[in-house]
Amino acid sequence: MTQTIENRAYGVDVSSFNNANVTEYTNAGANFVLVKVSEGLDYRNPKAKAQVDSTKQNNVVPMGYHYAHFGADSNRAVQEGNYAISSAKLAGVVVGSFLACDYEQGSGNETGGDREANTTAILTFLDTIVSAGYKPLLYSGAYLMKNKINTSRILAKYPDCLWVAAYNGKIANDANFGYFPSMDGVAIWQFTDNWKGLSVDSNIAVKSLKIDANVNKPVSQPVNTSTQPKTWTDVQGMTWHEEHGTFITGGAINLRWGANTQSTLIATLPAGSEVKYNAWARDSAGRVWLQQPRANGHDGYLVGRVGSEAWGTFK
């Protein structure tokens, strides 16, 4: 079955920091959802399957993406490609769908090496997922695409496969093409990290995209409310989401007694510190705070992400 994402259709991309149920986004006008399925070689988004299933239940098109850690290493790119394939299948992103390589600086990925070596590694990853039947996309910021990736080589093999990020950091309801990057081969443009005030990245297709996949709706299952992640609102008005994981700091990060930058400092954690967390919330400035359970029932708080930029690695 062939599905089409029409030119100028809006969509969102989601990870574990977003809701498992994407209805809020589809009700706002999203016609496709790009779901983070994996990162590196040892992380799978725990919400990926629920997000893909919710996307299908809302009759919009699911796709997947993998956050790369391979830098300029083509051998590792093959490994990550295979890990992305298995992760996508586990999440329900079926063969024939788009599967993107998210290639950014930081959070475990180093892009500062040779431009051509970076490009070769990216092509190796894309070749791997294409060999499994997925359609390729390459996500990155406009600056990185223009300076550290030879997009001409990418597009020579996989035309119109670029998913580019370029925006001014403000809430946006619609794509302002005054910020559209002047680049060839763009299929999808990520134009904001806060669409309609929903704290979700939004994208617009800048060409018609065809998907040759059977994306039938999943069979509805009874909801076991006892296993659903909890949410709650604190006195600051921040909505917290229960999630258990480990965050490894990418640089020095302050650990505080409260989830705001004026709260008392507990310690400044050095790069490479492992922090167990049990919940997260996003503040009005776009900072994602992680809650660290501590002794005697007290909690510590640190910033793990600002906008779409992670300050470390999640596992």
Instruction: Report pLDDT digits (tens) over 213-256.
Output: 765 455 444 444 444 557 888 767 788 888 888 999 999 999 99
Enumerate the domain spans of the chain: 2-212, 226-314
- Does 289 score more than 70 pLDDT? yes
pLDDT in tens, 55-67: 999 999 999 999 9
Query: Residue 181: what pLDDT?
Result: 87
Does residue 13 register a pLDDT over 70?
Answer: yes
pLDDT for res 298: 80
Phi/psi at 89 (5° precision) = -65, -40
**Degrees, nearest 5: CA angle 100-221-29:** 45
Mean pLDDT of all residues in 12-32: 96
- Tally Cβ neighbours within 10 Å of residue 112: 9
Whether the domain at 2-212 and the domain at 226-314 fall into the same CATH topology? no
Residue 104 annotated as catalytic: yes
Of 53, 80, 102, 104, the catalytic one is 104
Q: Is the pLDDT of residue 83 over 60?
A: yes
Query: What kind of fold does domain 226-314 have according to CATH?
Result: SH3 type barrels. (2.30.30)
Q: Is 286 exposed, middle or buried (0-12, 13-18, 19+ CB in 10 A)?
A: middle
Pairing of β 312-314 and β 309-310 = unpaired
First to last CA, the chain: 35
| Residue in the structure block whose two tokens are 């490994």 | 79
Which of the four pLDDT bands, split at 50, 70 and 90, describes residue 69? very high
The answer, as to whether pTM is greater than 0.75, is: no
Residue 132 vs residue 264, higher pLDDT: 132
Fold classified for 2-212: TIM Barrel (3.20.20)
Q: Which residues contact 104 (CB under 8 A, 6 or more apart)?
A: 67, 68, 111, 139, 140, 141, 144
pLDDT attached to residue 108: 87
